[in-house]
Homo-oligomer: A and B are copies of this chain.
C-alpha cells in the first residue's frame, strides 16, 4: 500500500531528490555568501557554513569538495549571472556607445543587487583590509586634492573629487597589474595611453549617441 503510494509519488515526481539536493546546495551557498562577506575567507569555517545552512558538517562535502571549491563555485556562478544580465541588456543595442552604457549600468545594478558576493570578490572584510585601506588612503587623498584643485581651476570636469579619485586609482592600478605580467609594451606607452584615455575619455569629440 504505502509502497504503491511511494511508487506513485516517485513516478509523479522523479525530480524530488534533485530538487532537494538543489535546495540544500542553495542553502549552503546562501549561508556561505553571508558568512564570507562578513568574516572573510579565512575567518569562515566550514563548520560555520554548515551550521548556518542548518545541515551537518559532512553535508557540506556532498556539495563542495573544499572551501576553495565552494568559493570558486560562488564566484563563477555570480560572474556568469552578471554576464548574462549584461549580455541580455546589451542585446537590444547595436551602437557601441549604447552597448557600453547599458553594459555599465547593468554591471552597477547587478553589483548593487549582489553586495555580499561583491564584498567577497573585492576582498572587503579580508584580513588586511584595514591595512590596505590605510596605505591606499593617502594616494587617493592626494589624487582627490589634485582633482579638486583642477575642478576649482576649471580645468577638470566637475565631478565629486572623492569619486573621481577612486575611478582614477582603479584605472591606474588595474592597468599596472595587467602590464606587470606582460612585458611586451613599455611602461611609458602605458603611461601615455592611460593619460590620454583618462583626460580625453573614450568618446571621439563631437560624437554624442
Contact = CB atoms under 8 A, between A and B. Distances in A.
Interface of A: 2-4, 7, 41-42, 71-72, 75-76, 79, 82-83, 86-87, 90, 95-97, 99-101, 103-105, 107-109, 111-112, 115, 118-119, 121-128, 131-132, 134-136, 138-139, 142-143, 146-147, 149-150, 153-157, 159-160, 163-164, 166-181, 185, 187-188, 190-191, 193-205, 207, 209
> What 4 A-B pairs have minimum CB-CB distances, sorted nearest first?
A170-B174, A201-B201, A96-B150, A79-B135
A108 B191 contact: yes
A159 B124 contact: no
A164 B201 contact: no
A92 to B, nearest CB: 14
A118 B180 contact: yes
* Copies of this chain, whole number: 4
B191 A105 contact: yes
Given A115-B180, A176-B108, A146 B203 contact: no
Given A75-B132, A96-B146, A209 B103 contact: no
Contact of A198 (B7, B123, B202, B205): B202
A29 to B, nearest CB: 16
A157 B104 contact: no
A142 B100 CA distance: 10
B156 A203 contact: yes
A156 B96 contact: yes
Given A86-B142, A168-B202, 20 more contacts: A3-B7, A41-B127, A76-B134, A96-B155, A101-B195, A108-B188, A108-B191, A108-B194, A123-B177, A154-B207, A157-B202, A159-B196, A163-B185, A164-B197, A166-B175, A167-B174, A170-B172, A199-B201, A199-B202, A199-B203
Given A96-B149, A118-B180, A150-B97, A207 B155 contact: yes
Which residue of A127, A167, A179, A187 has the most chain B CB atoms within 10 A of its CB atom?
A167
A119 to B, nearest CB: 6
A150 B142 CA distance: 33
